[in-house]
């Protein structure tokens, strides 16, 4: 049994359970999920099903008694759910995201108590944002003050996933009136049986996507809470937790991408135009192939980032920002291409498979926003440009060999700035040197782009105010370079991933170069190979021998 | 003209830091007071990481990225850095 095998089994088990419960009247029946979405009702039966399937075990690290040994484990399980329904995956997966601060900074007793609550189905939420303060963590006005031996919270958290349903909430609160980077701390509040009048849930908000999710708020009035980690360490703990959750969240996009590609492939196979099936029309196949390639490129980036949390935790400030900016953006582009292909905005397909496609398209837009928007993540990358300008020579073998067991995730090694830049991008040229001659043109083009991006990074002069647009574009180019590098590393190090003669790498590099602004010959053929694989198998993946 | 840091003292490090911060927030160095928190010049908590990188490169030190959070003025940071440099030598 190879490393990660239990998680793959779990993901398969979850997929099988969901598949078995998606028949008419079942909690994962697409018609039922569409009805709940329409009614803006929480998918409670589906979430209960996930509890029964043992998902919460994967939200708890093995050292606290859960099943989570490697970050890719929980990601595989969440992706299996996201592939069915993104609202459900976001609603249920929130417990993992909400717990991470305690896994990072909590005491052994706190972690053990939370582990037991999560494993018995407790819902954990994450109280970061407040009304009128956007995504600026340090603008928060909720306060925590000492009260006897403990602390009490005052103020309102808003736009919080599962704020109404939560049993427990991790709350970032101000512990110095003046705020500042050492003026906040993390607290765990038990919302199950509060002193009367101390906790008031505020109503669910109406959202454009994930309409059934419980996006609501909570008002604290002297509510009891316990300190997690050191007083004044709240911003630091939260930024470290976000490195892990931003990496994890990428699977929500991958699941949505898998779902979109599978629906589009089925649509093309079923529909006939004149005397031809749409799946035989080259123009249609080209769009399908390119969109599926976007998901594969995103997958390469996400998988390598997830593994790097174990092997290169001190670079995760860069890696997590790269993938949280890149993956939702790339998958969004794929979904848009497929939406256009299927004409979902037209009347013809509005009801196709209960409007599943339109729903996932709406639901997915939220992924680019939560746990730090694309803009926030790019801004974080920009502050690290001076380090990214330099290449390091760190060994990435374990990171990119997908069957290698990973070292234990050491959250004590997370830091807020990567001193070494990024090892995956740094190792691009040596990985390219391993490719067969047929890739020579693509490899040369990538090396030239890498040289240009690094030269521009070295020229970048940091400024505190009004970050120039060019810097954001440079961050975007570095993301593409990272994704391309991840794809090359995975291809080179994992012969098992090279289904259909490894055609996906040509397609991925073609897509990355095109988005970097470099014209590539033979793009049609590259995407056609991927389209053929998708039409033969449904969704495709770099993992598990090609089956997503 | 760059401040001389060949002999690290609180004064020489402070002068060099003042130039860095002034350059970074795009203000004349005369306007940067050594006892006013960096945040008041528009150097936010994340931008502080970039300054930290700069300090590491120029002084050859390995620092916690949060060093400006814990030593939030020129005076406090200079005193801390002189201590680090003396330990490192």
What are the pLDDT digits (tens) for A310-335?
999 999 999 999 999 999 999 999 99
Residue A225's H or E segment, with its range, is strand A215-228
Contacts of A384 in chain B (CB under 8 A): 49-50, 53
Distances in Å between the Cα of A309 and the Cα atoms of A283, A400, A448 are 40, 12, 29
Instruction: Tell whether B71 is covered by a domain.
Output: yes
Q: What is the pLDDT of residue A6?
A: 64
Report chain B's mean pLDDT, rounded to a whole number.
88
Instruction: Tell whether B56 is covered by a domain.
Output: yes
Mean pLDDT of A420-441: 97
Report chain A's mean pLDDT, rounded to a whole number.
93
Binning pLDDT at 50, 70 and 90, where does residue B18 land?
very high
Instruction: Tell whether B5 is covered by a domain.
Output: no
Q: What is the pLDDT of residue A142?
A: 98
Number of domains in chain B: 1
Binning pLDDT at 50, 70 and 90, where does residue A345 land?
low
The answer to whether B34 contacts chain A (CB < 8 Å) is: no
SS3 label, residue A401: coil
Instruction: Tell whether B82 is covered by a domain.
Output: yes
Q: Which of A181, A236, A386 sits opposite B53 (nearest CB)?
A: A386
Higher pLDDT: A135 or A202? It is: A202
Q: What domains sit in chain A, N to C, each tagged with a CATH number?
A: 5-122 (1.10.540.10), 125-231 (2.40.110.10), 237-541 (1.20.140.10)
Mean pLDDT of A44-58: 94
Q: Taking each helix axis from N to C terminus, what angle separates A316-342 and A356-364, rounded to the nearest 10 degrees? A: 150
Instruction: Tell whether B78 is covered by a domain.
Output: yes
- Closest CA–CA distance from residue B57 to any residue of chain A (Å): 10
What are the pLDDT digits (tens) for A121-158?
999 999 999 998 877 899 999 999 999 999 999 999 99
List, as one string, the DSSP characters of A40-99.
T---HHHHHHHHHTTGGGGGSBGGGTSSBSSHHHHHHHHHHHHHH-HHHHHHHHHHHHHH
Contacts of B43 in chain A (CB under 8 A): 464
Mutant choice from A417, A457, A467, A471 vs B, greatest count of B C-beta within 10 A: A417
The C-alpha angle with vertex A61 and arms to A249 and A309, in degrees rounded to 5, equals: 50
Range of the domain at B54: 10-88
Q: Are A367 and A256 in contact (CB under 8 A)?
A: yes
DSSP secondary-structure letter at A391? -
Instruction: Tell whether B1 is covered by a domain.
Output: no
Instruction: State the Cα–Cα distance between residues A301 and A400, nearest whole angstrom.
Output: 11
List, as one string, the DSSP characters of chain B.
-----SS--HHHHHHHHHHHHHHHHTS-GGG--TTS-GGGGT--TTHHHHHHHHHHHHHT----TTHHHHS-SHHHHHHHHHHHHHHH-
The answer to whether A418 contacts chain B (CB < 8 Å) is: no
Flag whether pLDDT at A503 surpasses 50: yes
Nearest CA in chain A to B40: A180
For residue A81, count other CB atoms closer than 10 A to its CB: 30
CATH number of domain containing B37: 1.10.1200.10
Range list of H helices, A271-315: 282-311
Both structure tokens of B31: 């306007």
- Closest CA–CA distance from residue B11 to any residue of chain A (Å): 24
Mean pLDDT of A367-377: 90
Q: Express as a percent the part of chain B with pLDDT over 70.
A: 91
């Amino acid at each position: 049994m190879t490393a990660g095998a239990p998680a793959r089994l779990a993901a398969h088990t979850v997929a099988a359970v969901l598949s078995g419960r998606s028949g008419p009247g079942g909690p994962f029946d697409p018609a039922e999920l569409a009805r709940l979405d329409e009614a803006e009702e929480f998918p409670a039966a589906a979430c209960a099903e996930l509890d029964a399937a043992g998902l919460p075990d994967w939200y708890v690290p093995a050292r606290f008694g859960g099943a989570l040994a490697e970050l890719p484990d929980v990601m595989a399980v969440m992706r299996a759910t996201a592939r069915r329904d993104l609202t459900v995956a976001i609603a249920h997966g929130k417990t993992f995201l909400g717990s991470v601060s305690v896994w990072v900074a909590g005491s052994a007793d706190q972690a053990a108590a939370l582990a037991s609550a999560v494993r018995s189905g407790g819902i954990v939420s994450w109280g970061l944002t407040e009304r009128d303060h956007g995504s600026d963590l340090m603008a928060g006005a909720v306060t925590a003050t000492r009260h006897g031996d403990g602390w009490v919270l005052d103020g309102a958290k808003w736009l919080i996933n599962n704020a109404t349903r939560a049993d427990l909430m991790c709350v970032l609160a101000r512990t110095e009136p003046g705020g500042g980077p050492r003026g906040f701390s993390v607290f765990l509040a038990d919302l199950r049986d509060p002193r009367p009048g101390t906790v008031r849930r505020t109503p669910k908000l109406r959202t454009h996507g994930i309409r059934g999710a419980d996006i609501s708020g909570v008002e604290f009035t002297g509510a009891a809470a316990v300190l997690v980690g050191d007083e004044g360490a709240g911003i630091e703990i939260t930024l470290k937790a976000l490195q892990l959750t931003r990496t994890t969240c990428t699977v929500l996009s991958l699941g949505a991408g898998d779902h979109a590609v599978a629906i589009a492939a089925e649509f093309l196979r079923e529909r006939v135009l004149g005397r031809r099936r749409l799946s035989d029309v080259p123009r249609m196949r080209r769009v399908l192939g390119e969109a599926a390639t976007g998901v594969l490129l995103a997958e390469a980036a996400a998988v390598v980032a997830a593994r790097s949390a174990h092997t290169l935790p001190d670079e995760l400030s860069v890696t997590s920002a790269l993938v949280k900016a890149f993956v939702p953006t790339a998958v969004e582009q794929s979904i848009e291409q497929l939406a256009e292909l299927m004409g979902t905005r037209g009347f013809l397909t509005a009801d196709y498979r209960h409007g599943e496609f339109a729903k996932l398209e709406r639901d997915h837009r939220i992924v680019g926003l939560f746990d730090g928007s694309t803009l926030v993540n790019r801004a974080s990358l920009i502050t690290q440009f001076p380090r990214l300008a330099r290449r390091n020579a760190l060994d990435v073998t374990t990171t990119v060999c997908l069957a290698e067991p990973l070292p234990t995730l050491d959250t004590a090694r997370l830091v807020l700035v990567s001193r070494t830049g990024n090892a995956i991008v740094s190792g691009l040229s040596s990985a390219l040197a391993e490719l067969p001659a047929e890739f020579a043109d693509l490899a040369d083009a990538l090396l030239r782009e890498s040289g240009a991006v690094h030269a521009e990074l070295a020229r970048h002069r940091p400024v505190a105010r009004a970050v120039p647009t060019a810097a954001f574009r440079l961050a975007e180019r570095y993301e593409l370079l990272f994704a391309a590098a991840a794809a090359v590393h995975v291809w080179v190090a994992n012969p098992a991933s090279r289904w259909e003669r490894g055609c996906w790498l040509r397609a991925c590099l073609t897509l990355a170069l095109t988005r970097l602004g470099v014209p590539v010959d033979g793009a049609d053929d590259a995407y056609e190979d991927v389209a053929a694989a998708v039409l033969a198998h449904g969704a495709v993946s770099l993992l598990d021998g090609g089956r997503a | 003209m760059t401040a001389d840091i060949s002999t690290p003292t609180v004064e020489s490090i402070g002068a060099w830091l003042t130039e860095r911060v002034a350059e970074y927030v795009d203000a004349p160095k005369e306007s940067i007071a050594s006892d006013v928190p960096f945040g008041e010049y528009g150097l936010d908590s994340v931008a502080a990481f970039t300054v930290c990188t700069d300090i590491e490169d120029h002084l050859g030190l390995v620092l916690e990225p949060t060093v400006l959070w814990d030593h939030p003025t020129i005076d406090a940071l200079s005193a801390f850095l002189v201590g680090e440099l003396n330990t490192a030598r």
